[in-house]
Amino acid sequence: MGAMTASPGRRVLLAAPRGYCAGVDRAVIAVEKALEQYGAPIYVRHEIVHNKYVVQTLEKKGAIFVERTEEVPPGSIVMFSAHGVAPVVHEEAERGRLATIDATCPLVTKVHKEAVRFAGDDYDILLIGHEGHEEVIGTTGEAPAHIQLVDGPGDVAGVEVRDPSKVVWLSQTTLSVDETMETVDALKEKFPQLISPPSDDICYATQNRQLAVKQMGEQADLVVVVGSRNSSNSKRLVEVAKLAGARASYLVDFADEIDEAWLEGVSTVGVTSGASVPEVLVEQVLAWLAARGFEDVELVRAAEESITFSLPKELRRDLREEAAALVAERGGSGTPQA
Ligand code: 0CM
Ligand code: SF4
């Protein structure tokens, strides 16, 4: 190890697409814009996106991340993360006299709307997703009486519904496409009349990143995925890479987490990143690899992406004034709620 020039036979396959999706880009810019327009602090309920570096960088600029709405002092501005929130969280913010900015990805909002519609038609909704994930908590909160969570094929045996002719499945946006289809097949076997969501709930970005890593995994000995441990879509890339044939695959937040030992006997390294990962972190991984003889980089392109989302409309309002008015109207000392 440690050669400073390109070594014969050593190469890097770089996935495309990788990194930021439209929903993450929008959410991160929304925090930055809010800080510019209204000044610090801007509270953010939950990590705006599941990435350590993004959170640390925004904290330095004046964002304060909290897990519960009740932690935000009355009269403040609070932003909801890209993963979405349950309606009850909007009520908490109103009770807490907070001005809100909703950075929920429009593709998560789409799933919320599907849940509301099917619950309105009195369907039993089987939500495929990972227990405890913020997005699943938010979506379930739209219709808790109608939704039950199915966390993988292993959960199917325990699913009971009121009327097997009125059942629909929906899903978290950031799941493994293949594993979800396994779960759906098992559900269909149990409930032959199960209906599918009107359009894909697993978002375009999740699907495209998995397609690229699949192609890469067929050729790479090792696949390094840049992403944080709590990032569902990033973790799925590690699983997909291994299933596609990579001998090993690891998730790292930063280049310095890569272990030299992972390179033993490796000639092709695949590199990709989750939807919440800034490109600078990938560049650092590529530099780390280049310093060890992996200088040749080939792009593995699985799809082209051009989608963008407009910023949350609340950013057009004077939220400092609104927050102050909320406190003045209903009284409040500015101290946090119990
Ligand atoms: O949902 P996941 O854990 O993959 O979140 P993330 O912040 O890593 O990625 C972007 C999103 C959403 C919603
Ligand atoms: Fe939206 Fe998909 Fe990005 Fe999540 S991963 S923020 S659902 S585009």
Q: What is the pLDDT of residues 139-179, one digit of tens each?
A: 999 999 999 999 999 999 999 999 999 999 999 999 999 99
* Nearest by Cα to 23 from 120, 107, 145: 107
pLDDT-derived band at 8, boundaries 50, 70, 90: confident
How far does residue 3's CA lie from ligand 2's centre (Å)? 39
User: Each residue of 296-334: b (16+ CB within 10 Å) or e?
Assistant: eeeebebeeeeeebeebebbeeebeeebeebbeeeeeee
Query: Would you call 322 a catalytic residue per the annotation?
Result: no
The annotation status of 183 as a binding-site residue, yes or no, is no
Residues 6+ apart with CB under 8 A from 245: 217, 218
Which residues face 301 on adjacent strands? 16
Mean pLDDT over each residue of the chain, to the nearest integer: 96
CA distance 121 to 166: 9
Chain segment 62-77, per-residue pLDDT in tens? 999 999 999 999 999 9
Span 194-202, average pLDDT: 97
* Token duo for residue 19: 């990194």
- The pLDDT assigned to 7 comes to 78
Q: 50 CA to middle of ligand 1, Å?
A: 6
The ligand 2 atom at the shortest distance from the C-alpha of residue 26 is: 6
Q: Measured between alpha carbons, how far is 97 from 330 in angstroms, rounded to an integer?
A: 8
* Residue 1 pLDDT class (50, 70, 90 cuts): very low
Cα angle 231-149-55, degrees, rounded to a multiple of 5: 20
Backbone angles phi, psi at 271, to 5 degrees: -130, 130
pLDDT, position 151: 98
Residue with tokens 């909290």: 66
Query: Is 246 within 8 Å of 223 (Cβ atoms)?
Result: yes
Spatial distance between the Cα atoms of 227 and 213, rounded to a whole number of angstroms = 14
pLDDT score at 338: 44
User: Does 108 sit in the ligand 2 pocket, CB within 6 Å?
Assistant: yes
> Is 273 known as a binding-site position?
no
Q: Find the catalytic residue in 92, 114, 135, 142.
A: 135
Give the residue among 59, 57, 61, 93 at the shortest CA–CA distance from 77.
93
For atom 9 of ligand 1, the residue with the nearest CA is 276
pLDDT of residue 332: 53
Assign 244 to helix, strand or coil.
helix
Is the pTM higher than 0.75?
yes
